[in-house]
């Protein structure tokens, strides 16, 4: 389920916002798409069993996800604050 949601998420992102935005929205957009790309090249896809590579990939993927979540909540706060 996680992999399918991640694989389809750029489509939902495009429907939500067809532009990359400016400022923090550009950062949110680029990190989101970079994290999706990082998810696409997981170790199942590249057929590698390296523990070091897996740990590096996992740390990067989780770190991007945390940053994206923080920016997402900031974005939601700004949307409702300015309405």
What is the pLDDT at residue 3?
A: 82
**How far, in Å, CA of 42 to CA of 40, rounded?**
6
pLDDT digits (tens, 9 = 90+) for 37-47: 999 988 777 77
DSSP letters of 3-61? Answer: HHHHHHHHHHHHHH-SS--STHHHHHHHHHHHHHHHHHT-HHHHT---HHHHHHHHHHH
pTM: 0.83
pLDDT digits (tens, 9 = 90+) for 4-38: 888 888 888 888 887 888 888 999 999 999 999 99
pLDDT band at 64 (very low <50, low <70, confident <90, very high): very high
């Amino acid at each position: 389920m996680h992999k399918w949601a991640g694989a389809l998420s750029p489509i939902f992102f495009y429907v939500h916002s067809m532009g990359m935005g400016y400022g923090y929205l550009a950062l949110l957009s680029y990190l989101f798409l970079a994290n999706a790309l990082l998810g696409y090249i997981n170790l199942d896809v590249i057929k590698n069993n390296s523990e070091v590579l897996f740990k590096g990939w996992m740390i990067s993927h989780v770190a991007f996800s945390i940053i994206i979540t923080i920016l997402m909540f900031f974005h939601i706060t700004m949307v409702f604050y300015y309405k």
